[in-house]
Amino acid sequence: MNDRIRTDIAHNARVWNYWLGGKDNYPVDRAVGDQVTGFYPSIGEVARADRAFLGRAVTHLAAERGVRQFLDIGTGLPTADNTHEVAQRSAPDARIVYVDNDPIVLTHARALLTSAPEGITEYVDADAHDPEKILAAAGATLDLSRPVAVMMLGILNFVLDTDEARSIVRTLMDAVPSGSFLVLTHPTLEPELGGEGNKAAMAFWNENATPPITARSRAEFTSFFEGLDLLEPGVVSCSRWRSATEDTHVVAQFGAVGHKP
């Protein structure tokens, strides 16, 4: 086993995999996952809504906006409908670079390297706190002079300092040209999204699991899109972003897509 993998403490990538119904997790992940669900019963629904948002956003960008390059930071463990599978369904020539810093995701990265022959997928073992390193590595696969969809779904919540999180986003978006997109999801405590239950769940998480997490308000989440044009319907529960039906249940996870003018 990779000696970076710790089985004595719950890891986010593995617990997320557990909530999504996956099998790439350990007893400690399932125990903490169940306890978090006790504090916040809709967490499994949040995880599923987040993945469904990924599907709709990537399909929209590939099929309707002509995006052919995706930089998916905080990829998570391979699951159904990974970014390259969704993108290449509409655009087989799409290029995808995945980035995560969890050793177990690296161990399973092979399952992400199943590109359509016309396109390419690559995996980079790197930390979101080091966007320059990510850009340097991504540049080997992506043409950073052409539009890129920078995706950070459920990961900026692990960059605890909001100014640093904004600076990471700015560094990434400054490195890609006009016509690029920023795709984000992020947990919140906002009552409008029913986020109150997140508070106790996150406090429990921070005492029992890794990495530590934080929630952000609507204003903080929206600030990540400064200088970008938000696509309709703007900042909403990720379950409501361009969903087929109006009556989709709201979850305490913001989702939005911004366009770099």
Ligand X SMILES: C[S@@+](CC[C@H](N)C(=O)[O-])C[C@H]1O[C@@H](n2cnc3c(N)ncnc32)[C@H](O)[C@@H]1O
Report the residue number, 103 or 146, with the smaller CB distance to ligand X. 103
Q: Quick count: other Cβ atoms within 10 Å of Cβ 192?
A: 10
Contact string (CB under 6 A) for ligand X, positions 151-190, x = contact: --xxx--x--------------------------------
Report the residue number, 22 or 197, with the smaller CB distance to ligand X. 22
Q: Give least dist CB 176 to ligand X, A.
A: 18
Binding ligand X by CB under 6 A: which of 24, 29, 85, 100? 100
Under the binding rule (CB under 6 A), the answer on residue 76 touching ligand X is yes
Q: Give least dist CB 65 to ligand X, A.
A: 20
Report the residue number, 102 or 122, with the smaller CB distance to ligand X. 102
Report the residue number, 118 or 167, with the smaller CB distance to ligand X. 167
Stretch that binds ligand X, among 98-106, 115-123, 141-149, 229-237 (CB under 6 A): 98-106
Q: Give least dist CB 261 to ligand X, A.
A: 26
Under the binding rule (CB under 6 A), the answer on residue 54 touching ligand X is yes
Rg (CA), the chain: 17
- Name residue 218's amino acid: R
Q: What residues make contact with ligand X under the rule CB under 6 A?
A: 12-13, 16, 50-51, 54, 74-76, 100-102, 105, 127-129, 153-155, 158, 211
